[in-house]
Amino acid sequence: MLLNHRKAGFNANAMSVWEAPEEKAEELGKKLASFSAVSHCYLRPKYPNWKYNLFAMVHAKTQDESNKIIEEMAKETGLNNYTKLYSTKEFKKVRIEYFSPKFKEWEESII
């Protein structure tokens, strides 16, 4: 059984993005991931035009609740350079089907 977070009332979903020191990023990522409102958290490289390297998806029922959770995450980690990217649209998710005849058909069509 899969939980549909929107149907369950979690409509204020934000990808919180954080600028973490490289030497502490893994430790801080584990701390962010420990919050019950976080469904997934991962480490990415920094780029010249994108300084954020930790990403944590926060699910809440209201934007105010989401903001409060993210503020608490900032307090607990000591990270103060972050922003919130709120979901505006969700695209249909399709579960992967392994060894599908459709894949073989596609593969043969490109050869």
pLDDT single digits (tens) 37-70: 999 999 999 999 999 999 999 999 999 999 999 9
Helix (H, G, I), strand (E, B) or coil at 40: strand
Residue 91 has pLDDT above 80, yes or no: no
Mean pLDDT along residues 20-39: 96
Report the pLDDT value the prediction gives residue 3, as an integer from 0 to 100: 46
Pick the closest to residue 58 from 18, 98, 21, 94 (CA basis): 18
Q: Which two tokens stand for residue 7?
A: 């149907």
Alpha-carbon gap, residue 27 to 7, rounded angstroms: 33
Full set of structural domains in the chain with CATH: 14-110 (3.30.70.3460)
Pick the closest to residue 41 from 1, 90, 3, 77 (CA basis): 77
User: Does the reported pTM lie above 0.75?
Assistant: no
